[in-house]
């Protein structure tokens, strides 16, 4: 067990014999394919890989991966993943959740798995709706979303998953969408990151919230509304005609025009994945006036939770023999030689 | 000795009240260090060879406003030269450190009992806080007891003067002065306390010396002061016990040790997921220090995460354990259902407290029995075991681990606030006498063309434990109903009915030992049937009644689910059945339901353990 010798696999080695039961056309199919394509490329071993999920459409994911899989209860996948990883840190643990599972009922656990920095990949499928329960608005639904539970439009402010992840102390925050061709690269970067790696994957629910991301995912909108970030590269979009710069007076980001490719002259920022301050601005960047920031927004590893636990356990066990008899005999003891008197 | 193995000697059976046993209650402000005083007195008493039982009774507030009635903290110890099963009904001696402590405790004192009061604390302010119109030490209202008033505060200040402490710090030594006096009264050795103080305050030698000086001064006061009146040195001989090595143990300690022992006997590492809650936290604290035994403790973000992480650890091949008290157990319920559905080993320890809701966090109750046996959605059975005393909790914890790993099931271990906090002498077990029950993980991959069946069953109906990292055994589990054998998602009606039956039958088939009789005959006029921490008062009450010739037996149930197979025959062999419980009749209902017997309830829900006399009265009434 835990034989770490890399084995060569193909995407089909990661497919199960289970019939996939998402709605035809669901964005989850594309994400599943992307993950199955990524696993051979990162040298994954099915026997050492565990997919853990909560409840919801996204959480059916483990059934379709030929790995170990645990479909748990609503919102609690991070807690199960924590127990699994602490029990066996050698396992490659992936967590699949959704906007309702991970940010509503399980928001607390998402916060703490990020804060503790458990070495796991957290794939949050954000479709801004409750699908499996037939279309209620979710914590990421935009204000005014009409749904069976909000027939006159929702009135509460949506959560922003990447801002939540960064605010919780996350050390890796990334974004992609279901059919984006860059998704495998983002998954690879997340896997390469040692620690909790959070990826918000915009996912199109074609039944209850179709095309809600079309403003930036539609082919015709892609170049004007997608900003793909790459470490060490300038933050350019619209085929290099526009970029993101810092408004030094207001201390906030702004969109600037780039003339003749002179992005330096336009003050466009070079993306540094370790810059937490800029990451905070990127996750807060409002869509509309700004493009959607995609790719790896932030990646700055820190020591992981399970390694710290293992190190402390080892340090405190060193030189000590686990003698059960000695343990139960501890403390102030006394010997009764014989019955002190007959009754 | 509060152990099942104890046989009653003639002298014990005729003892009424138990000869040469004394009940002392220390009561003071929650900041007065009464629990510490009691704990150290317990230690010295154990070292003197007495049998003993204790009852710590403290408020939920950490530092309740000083001098108030609700801020009183008390510690009762019953010790003697005969077997002691309870913390004692009524104290013989009450040490009252202030008016509030006197007011809230004096009514429990035996008529003619001794009050030792710190008169230095009986000023107008404290009297007003305790709602006394006149000073009870002077107005004759305590006439039915013996009263010894001493200015313990002044005597302590005098004793610690050489150490130059501030007044507040100096007064903190009051509890040691009082302890010194108590040690003198009962002829106890001071040295273990001195050693303990030196170790505790190793970095603050002045504080250590001041406390030792106070301890010695209290002792010397008893020895030399011109004590006219009631205070006399009392010597309690050592209790007859089986030869061997002894220590004192609280329930929280013995459960922790038992869980570690169970994991070792199973050959597993132990993963404990917990979340702070009174009175269960002590188990987390104990286990956090035992890393060399392969113990990982995880303080989770909430009760739900604590159990979920433990289930995750079990899934990955360790022994997952979680622990809480009523409200926390309620939060864990959904995850228990998942552990039942995925058939993973897990031990859930419930240190029961008064409920519902937040209820009485620091008081004891047995009101979570329904919750343990029935309290989940769906048909979701799991084995339930209950500990009867701190010492018994060790074996119960091992038994819980054995069942969990043998049958691939979550197991609920019930204890309560009384057992968790109370101390009793414990004959250190010989670990060589415990048979290991090593776990075998599934490792052999299926042959070509064959599929691994994660829901195949052995003769005990347990499924294989195949842990992540094992080549060739990749499989998916979850909370959705699964097909028999393959474990694939399956909603079919016949399959669900079949799987529900299998889950039920697996638990009903757990090998539970036959129920024994604690005291008395296996048939007769009256059976007193109990579970958990009512053990002590029931046993004493039955012994006393039998000594007077009454036909009564004591049955005490460890395995509450499934119940022992001989229980039906046993219960039907008695004309009357009384079930004393610290709830409104939960075991009574269970027994009626399972056996159609006319079990009658005897209930107490005051947050206090039963008194022997209360059960004795019920026996007499039933047999009148």
Q: Residue B248's pLDDT is what?
A: 85
CB B555 within 8 A of CB B530: yes
Within 8 A of A83 by CB-CB distance, chain B residues are: 271, 273, 298, 308-316, 320
Nearest-angstrom CA–CA distance, B266 and A24:
48
The span from the CA of B309 to the CA of A327, in Å, is 26
Window from B5-14, B93-102, B456-465, B553-562 with minimum mean pLDDT: B5-14
- Residues 2 to 31 of A: which have CB under 8 A from any B CB? 2-3, 16, 18
- A42-51, B60-69, B233-242, B369-378: least confident range: B233-242
**B17 has a pLDDT exceeding 50:** no
Nearest to B324 by CA among B381, B239, B252: B252
Chain A residues with beta carbon closer than 8 angstroms to that of B430: 325
Contact B254, B286 (CB under 8 A): no
Question: Looking at residue A4, what is its pLDDT?
Answer: 53
Angle at the Cα of B174 (from B172 to B177), degrees rounded to 5? 140
- As a whole number of angstroms, the distance between CA A88 and CA A90 comes to 5
How far is the C-alpha of A278 from the C-alpha of A186, rounded, in Å?
19
Closest among B432, B295, B287, B242 to A325, alpha carbons compared: B432
Band of residue B410 on the pLDDT scale cut at 50, 70, 90: very high
**pLDDT at res. A176:** 98
Residue showing tokens 């914890």: B397
If one compares B61 and A272, the residue with the highest pLDDT of the two is A272
Ordered DSSP codes for B314-349: HHTTSEEEEEE-HHHHHHHHHHHHHHHHHT--EEEE
CB of B479 within 8 Å of a chain A CB? The answer is yes
Q: What is the mean pLDDT of residues A161-190?
A: 98
Residues 323-352 of B with CB under 8 A from A: 334-335, 337-338, 342
- Residue B10 has what pLDDT? 41
pLDDT at A24 over 90: yes
Non-local (6+) Cβ contacts of B563 within 8 A are B512, B515, B557, B594
Inform me whether the pLDDT recorded for B470 exceeds 90. yes
Among A60, A105, A328, A332, the strongest candidate for a mutation testing the B interface, having the largest count of B CBs within 10 A, is A328
Name the band, by pLDDT with cuts 50, 70 and 90, for residue B233. Answer: low
Q: Which residues of chain B lie closer than 8 angstroms to A1, CB-CB?
A: 443, 467, 469-471
Average pLDDT of B510-530? 97
Q: Which helix (H) or strand (E) holds A286?
A: none
Chain A residues within 8 A of B247 when measuring between CB atoms: 329-334
Between CA B80 and CA B23 the distance in angstroms is: 9
For an interface test with A, give the residue of B272, B298, B309 to mutate (most A CBs within 10 A): B309
Contact B316 A88 (CB under 8 A): yes
* Whether the bond into B622 is cis, omega within 30 of 0: no
Return the bridge partners of B540, or none.
none
Give a three-class secondary structure readout of B464-530: CCCCCCCCCCCCEEECCCECCECCCECCCHHHHHHHHHHHHHHHHCCCCCCCCEEECCCCEEEEEEE
Instruction: Report the pLDDT value the prediction gives residue B3, as an integer from 0 to 100.
Output: 36
CB-nearest to A70 from B43, B315, B318 is: B315
pLDDT for B114 beyond 50 = yes
Q: Which uninterrupted H or E stretch holds B496? A: helix B493-508
Write down the pLDDT at residue B227: 56
The residue among B6 and B183 whose pLDDT is bigger is B183
Mean pLDDT on B411-424:
91
Q: Which residue has the higher pLDDT, A193 or B24?
A: A193
Per-residue pLDDT reduced to its tens digit, A279-334: 999 999 999 999 999 999 999 999 999 999 999 999 999 999 999 999 999 877 88
- The pLDDT score that the predictor gives to residue B185 is 84
Put simply, the chain B residues between 131 and 170 with a CB less than 8 A from any chain A CB are none
Q: Which of A316, A331, A340 sits opposite B238 (nearest CB)?
A: A340
B224's CB contacts (< 8 A; 6+ apart) are none
Taking the Cβ of residue A1 and every Cβ of chain B, the question of whether any pair is shorter than 8 Å is answered with yes
Query: Could you tell me if the ipTM is greater than 0.90?
Result: yes
What pLDDT, on the 0 to 100 scale, is given for residue B8? 38
Query: Starting at the edge strand that comes first in sequence, how are the strands of the sheet with A242-247 ordered?
Result: A236-237, A242-247, A252-257
- Residue B83 has a pLDDT of 82
Residue B593 makes CB contacts below 8 A (sequence gap 6+) with none
> Cα B133 from chain centroid?
39
Residue A102 has pLDDT above 60, yes or no: yes
Q: Which of residues 275-304 of B touch A (CB under 8 A)?
A: 290-294, 296, 298, 300-302, 304
- What is the C-alpha separation between B236 and A308, in angstroms, rounded? 52
Tell me what the mean pLDDT of segment A234-240 comes to. 97
List all residues of chain B from 240 to 269 with a beta carbon under 8 Å from chain A: 240-248, 257, 260-261, 264, 269
pLDDT at B230 over 80: no
The minimal CB distance from A50 to the residues B238, B246, B468 is found for B468
Q: What was the pLDDT predicted at B234?
A: 62
Task: State the best of B305, B410, B481 to mutate against chain A, taking most chain A CBs within 10 Å.
Answer: B305
Give every CB contact of residue B447 below 8 A, 6+ residues apart in sequence. none
Query: What value, to the nearest 5°, has the Cα angle with vertex A258 and ends A257 and A263?
Result: 130
Q: What is the share, in percent, of chain A residues with pLDDT greater than 70?
A: 97
Q: Hey, which residues does A126 pair with through a beta bridge?
A: A202
pLDDT in tens, B332-352: 999 999 999 999 999 999 999
For residue A51, the distance in angstroms to the closest alpha carbon of chain B comes to 9
B469 vs A81, A90, A108: nearest CB? A90
Give contacts of A 52-81 with B, CB under 8 A.
52, 55, 62-63, 65-73, 76, 78-81
Whether pLDDT at B243 is above 90: no
Tell me the pLDDT of chain B averaged across its residues. 91
Of residues B30 and A164, more confidence is placed in: A164
Token pair for B579: 């079930």
Do you know the residue count of chain A? Answer: 343
What is the interface size between A and B, counted as CB pairs within 8 Å? 226
Residues of chain B in contact with residue A108, where contact means CB-CB under 8 angstroms, are: 301-302, 305
Q: How do residues A179-214 score in pLDDT, each as one tens digit?
A: 999 999 999 999 999 999 999 999 999 999 999 999
Residue B320 predicted with pLDDT over 50: yes
The residue with greater pLDDT, B222 or B496, is B496
The pLDDT > 70 percentage for chain B reads 94
Q: Which of B39, B60, B59, B140 is nearest to B100 (CA)?
A: B59
In 3D space, the residue among B66, B95, B82 whose CA is nearest the CA of residue B168 turns out to be B66
Instruction: State the DSSP code for A64.
Output: G
B620 CA: distance to closest CA in chain A (Å): 27
| Rounded Cα–Cα distance for residues B144 and B132 (Å) | 18
Question: Which stretch of B178-192, B203-217, B470-484, B558-572 has the lowest confidence by average pLDDT?
Answer: B178-192
Best to test chain A binding among B474, B479, B489 (most A CBs inside 10 Å): B474
Q: Determine phi and psi for A193, rounding to 5 degrees.
A: -75, 125
> Considering only alpha carbons, which residue of chain B is nearest residue A327?
B257
The rounded distance, in Å, linking the Cα atoms of B76 and B418 is: 12
How confident is the model over B132-144, as a mean pLDDT?
91
- Let me know: does B216 contact B183? Beta carbons within 8 Å: no
Res B595: pLDDT? 98
CB atoms within 10 A of CB A37: 15
Task: Provide, rounded to the nearest whole percent, the portion of chain B with pLDDT above 90.
Answer: 70
Q: Report pTM.
A: 0.89
């Amino acid at each position: 067990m835990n034989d770490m010798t890399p084995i060569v696999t193909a995407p089909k080695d990661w497919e199960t014999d289970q019939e996939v039961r998402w709605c035809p056309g669901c964005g989850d199919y594309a994400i599943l394919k992307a993950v199955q394509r990524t696993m051979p490329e990162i040298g994954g071993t099915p026997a050492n890989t565990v997919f853990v999920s909560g409840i919801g459409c996204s959480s059916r994911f483990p059934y379709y991966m030929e790995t170990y899989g645990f479909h748990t209860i609503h919102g609690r996948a991070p807690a199960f993943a924590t127990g699994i990883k602490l029990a066996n840190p050698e396992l490659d643990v992936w967590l699949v959740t959704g906007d309702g599972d991970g940010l509503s009922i399980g928001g607390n656990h998402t916060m703490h798995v990020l804060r503790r920095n458990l070495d796991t990949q957290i794939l949050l499928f954000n479709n801004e709706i409750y699908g499996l329960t037939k279309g209620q608005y979710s914590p990421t639904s935009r204000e005014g979303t009409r749904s069976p539970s909000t027939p006159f439009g929702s009135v509460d402010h949506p959560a922003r998953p990447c801002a939540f992840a960064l605010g919780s102390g996350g050390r890796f925050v990334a974004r992609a969408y279901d059919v984006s061709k860059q998704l495998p690269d983002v998954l690879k970067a997340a896997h390469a990151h040692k620690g909790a790696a959070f990826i918000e994957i915009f996912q199109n629910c074609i039944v209850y919230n179709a095309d809600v991301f079309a403003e930036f995912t539609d082919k015709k909108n892609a170049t004007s509304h997608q900003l793909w970030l790459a470490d060490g590269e300038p933050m350019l979009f619209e085929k290099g005609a526009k970029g993101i710069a810092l408004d030094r007076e207001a201390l906030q980001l702004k969109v600037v025009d780039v003339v003749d490719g002179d992005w330096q002259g336009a003050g466009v920022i070079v993306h540094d994945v370790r810059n937490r301050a800029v990451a905070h601005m990127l996750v807060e960047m409002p869509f509309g006036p700004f493009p959607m920031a995609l790719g790896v927004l932030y990646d700055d590893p820190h020591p992981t939770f399970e390694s710290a636990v293992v190190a402390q356990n080892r340090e405190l066990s060193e030189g000590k023999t686990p003698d059960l008899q000695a343990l139960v005999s501890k403390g102030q003891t006394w010997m009764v030689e014989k019955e002190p008197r007959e009754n | 000795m509060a152990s099942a193995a104890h046989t009653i000697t003639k002298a014990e059976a005729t003892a009424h009240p138990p000869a040469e046993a004394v009940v002392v209650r220390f009561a003071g402000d929650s900041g007065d260090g009464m629990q510490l005083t009691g704990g150290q007195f317990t230690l010295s008493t154990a070292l003197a060879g007495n049998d003993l039982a204790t009852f710590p009774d403290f408020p939920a507030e950490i530092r309740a406003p000083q001098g108030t009635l609700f801020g009183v903290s008390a510690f009762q110890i019953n010790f003697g030269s005969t077997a002691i099963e309870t913390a004692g009904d009524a104290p013989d001696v009450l040490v009252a450190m202030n008016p509030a402590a006197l007011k809230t405790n004096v009514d429990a004192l035996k008529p003619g009992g001794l009050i030792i009061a710190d008169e230095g604390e009986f000023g107008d302010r404290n009297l007003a806080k305790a709602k006394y119109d006149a000073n009870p030490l002077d107005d004759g209202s305590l006439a039915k007891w013996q009263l010894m008033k001493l200015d313990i505060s002044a005597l302590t200040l005098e004793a610690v003067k050489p150490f130059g402490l501030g007044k507040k710090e100096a007064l903190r030594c009051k509890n040691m002065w009082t302890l010194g006096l108590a040690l003198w009264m009962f002829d106890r050795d001071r040295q273990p306390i001195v050693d303990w103080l030196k170790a505790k305050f190793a970095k603050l030698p002045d504080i250590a010396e001041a406390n030792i000086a106070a301890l010695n001064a209290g002792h010397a006061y008893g020895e030399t002061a011109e004590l006219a009146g009631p205070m006399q040195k009392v010597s309690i001989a050592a209790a007859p016990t089986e030869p061997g090595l002894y220590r004192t143990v609280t329930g929280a300690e013995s459960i922790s040790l038992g869980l570690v022992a169970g994991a070792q006997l199973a050959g597993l590492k132990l993963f404990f997921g917990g979340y702070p809650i009174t009175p269960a936290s002590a188990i987390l604290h104990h286990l956090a220090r035992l890393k060399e035994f392969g113990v990982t403790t995880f303080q989770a973000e909430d009760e739900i995460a604590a159990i979920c992480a433990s289930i995750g650890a079990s899934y990955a091949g360790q022994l997952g354990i979680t622990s809480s008290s009523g409200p926390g157990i309620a939060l864990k319920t959904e995850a228990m259902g998942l552990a039942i559905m995925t058939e993973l080993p897990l031990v859930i320890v419930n240190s029961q407290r008064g409920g519902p809701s937040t209820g009485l966090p620091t008081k004891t109750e047995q009101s979570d029995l329904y919750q343990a046996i029935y309290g989940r959605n769906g048909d979701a059975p799991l084995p339930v075991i209950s500990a009867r005393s701190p010492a018994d909790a060790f074996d119960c914890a091992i038994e819980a681990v054995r069942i969990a790993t043998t049958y691939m099931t979550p197991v609920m271990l019930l204890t309560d606030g009384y057992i968790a906090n109370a101390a009793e002498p414990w004959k250190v077990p010989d670990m060589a006498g415990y048979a290991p029950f090593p776990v075998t993980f599934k490792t052999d991959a299926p042959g070509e063309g064959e599929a691994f069946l994660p829901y195949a069953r052995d003769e005990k109906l347990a499924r294989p434990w195949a842990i992540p990292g094992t080549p060739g055994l990749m499989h998916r589990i979850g909370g959705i109903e699964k097909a028999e054998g393959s474990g694939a998602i399956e909603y079919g009606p016949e399959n669900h009915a079949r799987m529900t039956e299998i889950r039920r039958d697996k638990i009903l088939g757990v090998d539970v030992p036959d129920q024994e009789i604690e005291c008395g005959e296996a048939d007769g006029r009256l059976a007193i049937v109990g579970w958990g921490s009512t053990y002590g008062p029931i046993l004493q009450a039955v012994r006393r009644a039998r000594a007077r010739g009454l036909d009564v037996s004591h049955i005490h149930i460890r395995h509450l689910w499934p119940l022992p197979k001989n229980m039906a025959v046993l219960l039907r062999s008695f004309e009357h059945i009384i079930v004393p419980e610290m709830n409104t009749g939960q075991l009574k209902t269970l027994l009626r339901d399972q056996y159609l017997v006319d079990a009658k309830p005897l209930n107490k829900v005051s947050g206090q353990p039963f008194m022997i006399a209360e059960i004795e009265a019920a026996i007499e009434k039933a047999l009148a």
